Amino acid sequence: MTGDAEQRKSQPERVELVTDPNEVARIEAENGLRQTKFIEDTIEQNLQAISTFSLRPSLISNLNRLAIQGLSELPGIYRPGGTRITNSNHIPPNPEDVPSLMEEMCDYVNDQWDRDAWHLASYLMWRLNWIHPFEDGNGRTSRAISYIILCLKLGQRLPGSKTIPEVISEQKKPYYEAIDMADAAARRGEIDVSAMEAVLKNALAAQLADFADAVTGGHLSGNTRPENDEGRRPPPRWTAQLHQHYNNHPFWYWLAALILAVAGVMVSFG
């Protein structure tokens, strides 16, 4: 996990609403659960929709609102003033430029929808951090919208309870380095998010591996999980049903998990 000294955090001109670390952690955890549910619902609704998906700034604002509600006076609302990012050399654009930059970012994704999923998801993860439109929660929001776009482009809600945003959040150093590399390319007038694509592909492989462990109880990887896995959110009810079915029919689950793991490796190097 990234050390506190290496963490990046928005420093808006306004005073933070909550300062107690324990209270912040509690609210962030509750918000995270609500945002995750919203992400899942958004993916399912758009996968079933007849019309072509179109990215709008309102969806991104809703994701931010869910991430920082109770922590900021302006959840889901563009920052009215300047902001700085700790441990970063990037200076976000002026607040009056944020609305047009957000529209341009969404237009890029919509106009380039025929491009591969990795480019579009990586572009969003970088560009939203570059714009830094909100007072707080920009990183969480960028990872959330990136994951939604990735799933929609791949045509499915990816399996696994430990999703790509969570994987990246636990190991932020490669993610920060990828942002810095994309920032450097932008200063040259280029769009190069190849480093972020690698981060996403590695995170997907980790998500699929986590799914395989959840299905087999860790038998496939050898990482057998204890009954009380501290530090992780409780598994969904369907996981227990899968465990029971796996115990009765292990071969098919081993085969499915192996296929998923191989697919993850192929995607990572594809």
Render pLDDT for 78-113 as a digit per residue (tens, 0 to 9): 999 999 998 899 999 999 999 999 999 999 999 999
Residue indicated by tokens 């990828």: 178
DSSP 8-class letter at 259: H
- Would you state the pLDDT for residue 235? 52
The CATH superfamily assigned to 4-157 is Fido-like domain (1.10.3290.10)
Alpha-carbon span 41 to 174, nearest angstrom: 29
Burial string for 42-51 (b: 16+ CB within 10 Å, else e) reads bbeebeeeee
Is the confidence at residue 145, as pLDDT, over 90?
Answer: yes
**How large is the average pLDDT for residues 114-129?**
97
- Would you state the pLDDT for residue 247? 52
Low-confidence winner among 31-40, 58-67, 236-245 (lowest mean pLDDT): 236-245
User: Largest alpha-carbon pair distance within the chain?
Assistant: 61
Alpha-carbon span 56 to 41, nearest angstrom: 16
Taking CA atoms, 98 is separated from 79, 80, 135, 184, in Å, by 8, 10, 12, 20
More confident residue, 224 or 139: 139
- Would you state the pLDDT for residue 142? 98
Enter the pTM of the model. 0.78
DSSP 8-class letter at 76: T
> Which tokens hold the place of 210?
């986590």
Cα 152 to chain centroid distance, Å, stands at: 14
**How large is the average pLDDT for residues 156-160?**
90
Is the confidence at residue 226, as pLDDT, over 80?
Answer: no
The percent of residues above 70 in pLDDT, for the chain, comes to: 74
